[in-house]
Chain A
Amino acid sequence: MATASYPMDGVAGQVKRPALAEYFTWSIDHKIIGVQYIVTSLFFFIIAGALAMLIRWELMTPEITVMADGSQYNTLFSIHGTMMIFTWIVPFWAGLGNYLIPLMLGAKDMAFPWLNAFAFWLLPPSGFLLILGFFIGPAEAGWTSYPPLSTIYSPDGQTLWALSIHLVGLSSILGAINFIVTIKNMRPPSMGWFQMPLFAWATLATSIIVVLATPFLAGALTLLLLDRVAGTTFFDATSGGDVLLWQNIFWFYSHPAVYIMILPGFGVLSEVLAIHSRKPIFGYRMIALSSMAIAIVGFTVWAHHMFTSLQPELRIPFMITSMIIAVPTGIKIFGWLGTIWGGRIRLNSANLFSLGFLSLFVIGGISGVMLAAVPVNIHMHDTYFVVSHFHFVLYGGSVFAIYSALYHWWPKITGRMLDERLGKIHFVTTYIGFLGTFMPQHIVGMQGMPRRVAVYDPQFQDLNVLISLFSFLLGISTFFLLYNMVVSTVAGRVAGANPWRALTLEWQTTSPPPAYNFAGEPVPFEDPYGYGTDASKAYLDAMESRFGPSPGAEEERRPPSGALPEPQPAGD
């Protein structure tokens, strides 16, 4: 298998990175587009994060003190939520998928490179439409935008909000079609469905959800826009409309959207934990198929977001499906624990964030099952308990997975390692900041503090001050990552083709990969997670002899001193 004829066209440090200017142009190279997505989404992450800091600043007092009035506060969390979901997590995964899927499958590019670029270029305008809203009265109905608050009672920014989400939705549908076609058709002949990396499985499941669920949002937004600008009354109960129609359509999309945000994170975890524990993934098929199970069952649980508005007798069926979905999620968590058990766990930044994900996500999962129970839900619904739950899932889950992915694949993307010391500081501050911010929110919510309020019962002030202080730490922690990314990309240690000694195909080429990714036809190892066998060792050694040693590997893996090539200046 390792006898493929690789020309020696790239040893570590010698592959040129694309010129910086290329990232600001229309490019149809999936690697450029991937980075464009990632950097753009990071930009919106910073803005949305700053809004979160303002929210926490305001909440240090039980009266309105920082903001001018309640409306201004409402815009903060409305835009914060919308941006974090639609212009940060969703497009980040699109970007990572873009960069990795063709590489993992040994393909030259995505199936439709032009469409790929088009999908990306819908993203910046949609983000800026959201920001533009601030100048004409921004949306203030929350990211869920329930009518009639979002129709009759909202300023013009709400229209921009809907247009913005429309664009993002179109972008992700086009991107998802591209992913599905690429994954189905562009694998090398020797890679069967069950030899695909699990990140590809996760992306496939995610894309199926996007193709089938996101259009519901598009339909709902179209009706909302008509209500706002054309005088229709689809959602106006005083004129024959129905407010629950919106909630049903919106959540029919938006609950699956939760899986759009977390499934790729599951995929990242499966890669990172196996590679950095030096063990095969435990129960490959169960983990792959549970993604599909989650995708399917995810379509049947939407109304658990409506337990306090839905007719009481309809609540029970949704409680049942919502609880059932905990089972495939549990399979994954236990599978990952089985993966690290008995391994050689590297405690580097990439793996720390994945392990951190495991420890936080399980809390979000437990609180999720609690919320699925109707009687508990009618107490917790729309309180800080819910805020805490979905931040555990989306921050402790998705964002930790994103961080893990960055530490893991940034060396592939840039050819440079991220600094480990900064990475560990980043992990510790993020983990502590996160727990301090979101753990007490469970209690505040149960005690009686609703979400989306700037004015609250003064008895909750102490806890809120504590939460805010930890949230500022969480905010600061992000800068360790950003600084690390900038500094390491310019002057980091050269990574080499395969610093982690990973078996998946994206590592069997130079860092960054050359145009069209591989020289010659790449031959995947028969088992993407077959660590610990002589065959896998031979495969990796053969690859190393082709691409040269990877100096980015951990200290201990370094060959005896002197054999290491000097870090070379950046390729560009």
Chain B
Amino acid sequence: MDNNAILNVAHLNIKFGGIIALKDINFHVPRASITALIGPNGAGKTTVFNCLTGFYKGGPGSKLTLSSKNKSNNLVEMLGEGFKLQDFINPPAFVKRIYFKMFGGTHLVCRAGLARTFQNNRLFEEMSVVENLLVAQHMSLEKSLLKGVFQTKDYLESQERALDKAHDWLKFFKLDKRANDIAGELPYGEQKRLEIARAMCTSPELLCLDEPAAGLNPAESAELSELIIRLRDEHRISVLIIEHDMHLVMKIADHIVVLNYGEVLFDGTPAEVRNSSKVIDAYLGKE
């Protein structure tokens, strides 16, 4: 286990019926770096993301540790893992388990500092661009319903701060002219950028991007990779990215994890991956 890593994935495994989708996955994401997760179709890349955000529950023994916001978060526990036999003789663990069963879930992962995007755009299409970003900042907004109804000073101030932050990110992603447009009416490339902007509004430390460049033209794709590099350098964001566009991956990644048939095939720098015969065999087949 690497202490400098923001995310440690250890012994992650998951089965769907008889199919073993992930088998003992181990890797880590170093802090303030770009890690790419690549592999042929069906290798289990998106499944890893889904385990991180709680759509799937990892099998027994899976450990996902997110070291963010100055503490170490056990994601499996946060997402409400099943009872274990030893819980029944350990009341504190039992209480904790019940707590996370009742109040745990995806939202805690986000609050711990992990944000993700999807392969397909999942914006709130009927809301305006700036509202999409405000939704993501609800934790920093005054939550009291009464304060909202009476528009108290605290509420308006917190709203002002949220708007400022939203505009900063819109500027960063070059969407500031679109602030009041309806999100569903933006062109595809801008929607993709808005998704990342919205994820950034939750103040994450780890950003998980699922095929951000899919469907973008080469110019848009180059612009996006520029933005991802700036996120790492200017904002010290750690990025875990799934991507099929190898030019983009080789250009921006500091570290690449290759998956194949639910196993980690190779783990190393882009140069090492390029020269690895194992990876080439997996992609192109053996000679």
Do chains A and B stick together as partners?
no
